[in-house]
């Protein structure tokens, strides 16, 4: 038995009222002509209140008159998908929603209005904030067990005045650890001063660290305070300490031993009330053995050593870092990019990141700058990254089954690095395989 037009309309209304997403339609003058139950729940306005009113009176958003998704769809004839915006509900509470919009056509194919679907992102946003809070520590983001142990001891290390050595590859975030140690310390109200020990020639570096009096060297036309003086009462962060020339290593050792230093051309020493943090990507113990780094200085610097693992050893952090980077650069460049398409995500998850977190941030920043849509696609990635990932990406047909993976992991006594070597894959890919198999 065929349905009458009235029955068909009632049937459609029942379907639309049963879906979890809000749905409304407008005519060509932007008056609301349909409003489902989910739309009522999200906005706080009843169907009776919404029908016949301009949609901007119900969806009170800053984009209503500048970037309305429905107006855009009606003007261009192209759908708008999953655009994230904020609206004010009836009680003036801000609600984050994801909006999609399309043009409606009449029987002759002419635009007759528009339809918008929208989803309340409040719970998702709260969950994301909970996850972010759980795995974030003073601008450091990680769910890796080794990193979490470092986060756990940082407050104790910071509370002391002990000289601390940060050991880690370039790009692992040693400067963020230095900032966290300073911000958590009793010296937090005083300056954190940084100097890169490999960035200047020896004479200029000496003046930068210790300061110089007028006329102490050619071109010195006035008294110049060094970084030690600038950091008085606070923290001096000596980045890339392994690049410090041997002659300056002797002078730095004296500061660490006696808490005194003498600016170039000065007649008497100055006291140094400074906490020292040093960082290096070099193996200082091997440099000591080779005679290029003083053993006594190494011992003075190495009171507390924090070894920061490279990103290739903590693949579980890559999704967190990608989300953090996308959010950061969206805000910096005024973009509303929703995420990465599946091909890009696979490439980024499989990449070994020889440049560590810094490389990941650079990749995402570049992609955000170049992106004109709502998703980051493969053409926005550096070409060499795509080539490296594709050449090293193992076939899915070679992936062992869950039981086989579990047995192989047990055979290696849980050593994931050894299992990755046996399978001929990097640790990031292994982590994804184990996660897919429910073994993480």
Distance between the two ends of the chain, CA-based, in angstroms? 55
Bridge partners (DSSP) listed for residue 275: 235
Quote the percentage of the chain above a pLDDT of 70.
87
* Residue 216: per-residue pLDDT: 58
Which has the minimum average pLDDT: 14-28, 157-171, 261-275? 14-28
Q: What is the pLDDT of residues 325-371, one digit of tens each?
A: 998 999 899 888 888 988 888 888 888 899 999 999 999 999 999 99
| CA 421 and chain centroid, separation | 29
- Higher confidence at residue 418 or residue 40? 40
* Residue 1: per-residue pLDDT: 47
d(CA 190, CA 236): 11
d(CA 250, CA 314): 37
Sorted by where each starts, the structural domains of the chain and their CATH numbers stand as 5-120 (3.30.450.20), 133-309 (3.40.50.300), 313-393 (1.10.8.60), 398-440 (1.10.10)
Which has the minimum average pLDDT: 213-217, 242-246, 253-257? 213-217
d(CA 190, CA 233): 6
- Higher confidence at residue 208 or residue 387? 208
DSSP symbols for 29-52: T-BEEEE-HHHHHHHS--HHHHTT
Comparing CA positions, the residue from 154, 98, 165 lying closest to residue 125 is 98
Average pLDDT over residues 294-321: 93
Provide the pLDDT confidence category of residue 237 given band limits of 50, 70 and 90.
very high
* Residue 212: per-residue pLDDT: 81
Average pLDDT over residues 380-386: 83
* Residue 253: per-residue pLDDT: 94
C-alpha atoms less than 13 angstroms from C-alpha of 205 in its C-beta half-sphere: 21
Provide the pLDDT confidence category of residue 164 given band limits of 50, 70 and 90.
very high
Quote the percentage of the chain above a pLDDT of 90.
41
**How does DSSP classify residue 121?**
-
Provide the pLDDT confidence category of residue 389 given band limits of 50, 70 and 90.
low
pTM over 0.85: no
Q: How many CB atoms lie within 10 A of CB 189?
A: 8
Provide the pLDDT confidence category of residue 388 given band limits of 50, 70 and 90.
low
- How many residues comprise the chain? 440
Which are the contacts of 87, defined by CB distance < 8 A and separation ≥ 6? 43, 59, 60, 61, 94, 95, 97
Bridge partners (DSSP) listed for residue 118: 22, 99
Average pLDDT over residues 71-90: 86
| Helix 416-423 × helix 427-436 angle, to 10° | 100
Average pLDDT over residues 51-79: 87
H/E run at residue 389 = helix 383-392
Is a pLDDT exceeding 60 seen at residue 391?
A: no
- Higher confidence at residue 302 or residue 11? 302
């Amino acid at each position: 038995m065929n349905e009458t037009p009235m029955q068909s309309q009632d049937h459609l209304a029942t379907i639309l009222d049963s879906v979890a997403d809000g749905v409304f339609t407008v005519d060509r003058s932007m008056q609301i002509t349909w409003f489902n139950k989910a739309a009522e729940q999200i906005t706080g306005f009843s169907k009776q209140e919404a029908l016949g009113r301009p949609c901007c009176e119900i969806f009170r958003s800053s984009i209503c008159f500048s970037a309305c998704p429905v107006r855009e769809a009606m003007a261009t004839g192209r759908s708008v998908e999953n655009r994230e915006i904020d609206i004010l509900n009836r009680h003036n509470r801000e609600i984050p929603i994801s909006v999609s919009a399309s043009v409606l056509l009449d029987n002759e194919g002419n635009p007759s209005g528009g339809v918008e679907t929208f989803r309340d992102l409040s719970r998702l946003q709260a969950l994301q904030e909970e996850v972010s809070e759980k795995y974030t520590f003073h601008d450091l983001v990680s769910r890796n067990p080794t990193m979490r142990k470092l986060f756990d001891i940082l407050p104790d290390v910071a509370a002391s005045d002990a000289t601390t050595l940060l050991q880690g590859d370039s790009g692992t975030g040693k400067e963020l650890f230095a900032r966290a140690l300073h911000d958590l310390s009793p010296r937090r109200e005083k300056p954190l001063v940084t100097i890169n020990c490999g960035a200047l020639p020896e004479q200029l570096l000496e003046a930068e660290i210790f300061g110089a009096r007028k006329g102490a060297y050619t071109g010195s036309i006035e008294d110049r305070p060094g970084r030690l003086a600038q950091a008085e009462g606070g923290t001096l962060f000596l980045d890339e300490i392994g690049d410090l020339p041997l002659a300056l290593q002797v002078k730095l050792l004296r500061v660490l031993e006696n808490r005194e230093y003498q600016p170039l051309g000065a007649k008497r020493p100055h006291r140094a009330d400074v906490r020292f943090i040093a960082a290096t990507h070099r193996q200082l113990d091997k440099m000591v053995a080779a005679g290029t780094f003083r053993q006594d200085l190494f011992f003075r610097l190495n009171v507390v050593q924090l070894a920061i693992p490279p990103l290739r050893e903590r693949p579980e952090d890559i999704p967190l870092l990608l989300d953090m980077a996308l959010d950061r650069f969206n805000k910096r460049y005024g973009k509303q990019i929703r995420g990465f398409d599946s091909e890009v995500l696979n490439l980024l998850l499989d990449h070994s990141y020889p440049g560590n977190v810094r490389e990941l941030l650079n990749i995402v920043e570049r992609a955000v700058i170049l992106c004109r849509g709502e998703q980051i696609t493969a053409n926005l990635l550096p070409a060499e990254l795509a080539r490296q990932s594709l050449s090293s990406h193992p076939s899915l047909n070679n992936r062992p089954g869950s039981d086989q993976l579990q047995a192989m992991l047990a055979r290696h006594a849980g050593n994931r690095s050894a299992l990755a070597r046996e399978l001929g894959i990097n640790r990031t890919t292994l982590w994804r395989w184990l996660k897919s198999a429910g073994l993480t």
